[in-house]
Structure formats: C-alpha cells, structure tokens
Amino acid sequence: MKHFLPALPLMIGFILDCIIGDPYNIPHPIKLIGRLIGGLEKLVRKRMKNLRMGGTLLGLTVIILSTAAPLALLIICYHFSLILGIAAESVLCCYMLAAKCLCKESMKVCRAAESGDTEAARRAVSMIVGRDTAVLDRDGIVRAAVETVAENTSDGVTAPLFYMGLGGAVGAFFYKSVNTMDSMIGYKDEKYADIGRFSAKTDDVLNYIPSRLTALLMIVAAPVCRLDGKNAFRIWKRDRRNHASPNSAQTESACAGALHLRLAGDAWYFGKLHKKPYIGDNDRPVEPQDIRRANCLMYAASVLMLIISAAARCIIWGGIL
C-alpha cells in the first residue's frame, strides 16, 4: 500500500480541480509568482544594462523561489504527519491544474455563441485569449476558444501533471514558474526579446515532451469523445510544426484533426496582423458545440496523463516512503 502513497496527491489534486477549480476569492500561487516576475522585471530593467543576462538571473531567481517555497512547506508538513503532508501536497497539486477553469471560461463563450449573443461571446473569449477580439465574427470567436482549449490542455493541465509524475507538487511549481514567465515576458518583440529569451527557451524545452505526449493522448482519447482519432493522427503528422512555437501546434493539430476543423491562421495582436499558417482542414463550418467537444477531448487526455503520471510517481518514489 505504501508504494501507492506518492500518487495520492496527484489523484486527489486532479479530482479537487475537476470539482472545485480555482477559488477566485483566495490568493493563488500563480498570481504570487506573477507578481514576483513583474517586480523582478522592473528591477532588472532599472539596474541592469545587459537585459539578456538580467533575464537569465530573473528566470533563475523565479524558479528557485517558486520551487523552494512549496518544498519547504511540504518538508514541514510531512515531518509532522504523513496525512498532513498528503493533504497539503494535494492542495498544491490542485492549484497547479486548470482543467475546471479552462472548461468553465471556454463554456461561457459556447453558451453566449449558442444564444446568439456575439458581443457576450466576444467579451468571454477576450478573457482567455491574447489576440485582439474586436475583429472576430462569431465563427472566429468560437474558433479562438477551441484553439485556446487545445493549446492550454498541455500548458494548463497535462504538462503540470507530467511534472507532478516526476517531482510531485514541487515539480509542477517548477514547471508553472517557467510557463508563467513565458506568458508574461517570453515574447519576441523589441521590448521582451532580450529579457524574456531565457524564459521562452526554457519553456520550449520543458514543454517539448509533454506537448507531444499530450497530442498522442488526444489522438488515443478522440474515439472516447466520439471524435475522429484517425484524422487526428493524420493532421497531427502533417501540421504539428505549423506554428512559430515548436510546441503549440502539437495539441492544436491533434484537436483540429479530431474535430475536422481548420484552426489557426492569421491573427491580430495589439493592433498588428501576424501571418500564421492554418492547422487542419476546412471540412465543415465551426459551431459552438465544438467548444464542448474540445473540452471533452481535454478531460479525456488529462485522465490518461494522470494515469501515466501516477504510475511514474509510484515507480520513481514508491520505495522512499
């Protein structure tokens, strides 16, 4: 029985996230990490002329502090009681997962689009995407929501689970600290090209295996959601590199194939048009129901990743307890 204990926080944390999600009225660790990143960015820009070196120091500082804090907490909790330690780690694992939040926010878009309220759908999608939404029609809004669910299946759920399998809650904090830095300063524009280079490159490395594994899990899970697994595999093989990021198109292509949709393409960001290749085939018009289908695929792939990560956790750490 003791060999299965290391997997308990992962499973409990995943279940808690599916049921409760992120509580909006309680300080979230990711927000605290975000504040740390913002404060350090201001300090680096003020004190250092070499922004590339400053960005590296910023990144290392964020990673060390973001992993040391949960590690210290768990050492104390496990020292006093195994049950207390498992409970604390379960809560921390829950905090690092975003399946419920991703589903909840994307379904706001779905329901608004289904009711014909395009402006409400536009407001809802603007909360979960980085692109300019003013230029999007209803189909564009729905497509943007599907793309966000597909991409964030890895960033928000399966990649944290992957690193939980390697290092528990501390492993997930390590991953999310880098992922949060990438989302805040990992841009390639003039403002962030130097200071965010370390964050962007590290995020690419950390997501390399999880993004590809997640795409394969989506393909396997597609028939469970009554989607086309064979076409998901075909489009993934063909379009998985159709993105400036080496990882983002992995899950988008699998999702596009499973749904028989064409995703991606040109998009506006901060008033500037960015030319992007398409992902998937335009086999049929997009519809609000596709957001539900994408969420089903997200949950199915996440359960598979949970099983893999829990098994890995038991194998790696089972003999320690």
Give the alpha-carbon dihedral of 74, 80, 86, 90, to 10 degrees: -50
Cα→Cα distances 166→113, 161, 276, 311, Å: 40, 9, 35, 10
Asked which of 37-46, 102-111, 127-136, 177-186 is least confident by mean pLDDT, the reply is 127-136
Stretch 177-184: mean pLDDT: 94
Q: Amino acid identity of 266?
A: D
Where do we find the tokens 């064409």?
Answer: 262
- For 39, counting Cβ atoms within 10 Å of its Cβ (0-12 exposed, 13-18 middle, 19+ buried), the class is exposed
Report the distance separating Cα 99 and Cα 18, nearest Å.
6
pLDDT at 6: 85
Residue 122 pLDDT exceeds 60 = yes
Tell me the per-residue pLDDT of 273-304, one tens digit each, with 9 for 90 and over: 667 888 999 999 999 999 999 999 999 999 99
Ranges of each domain in the chain: 2-317
pLDDT, greater one: 114 or 24: 114
What type of residue sits at position 315?
I
Q: What is the tens place of the pLDDT at every residue in 44-62?
A: 999 988 999 999 999 999 9
pLDDT digits (tens, 9 = 90+) for 237-279: 999 998 878 898 899 999 999 999 999 876 656 656 667 888 9
* pTM (2 d.p.): 0.92
Confidence class for position 203, pLDDT limits 50, 70, 90: very high
The pLDDT-based confidence of 2 (bands split at 50, 70, 90) is low
Which amino acid, residue 152?
N
> How would you class 233 by CB atoms within 10 Å of its CB: exposed for 0-12, middle for 13-18, buried for 19 or more?
buried
Contact in structure between 66 and 37 (CB atoms under 8 Å)? no
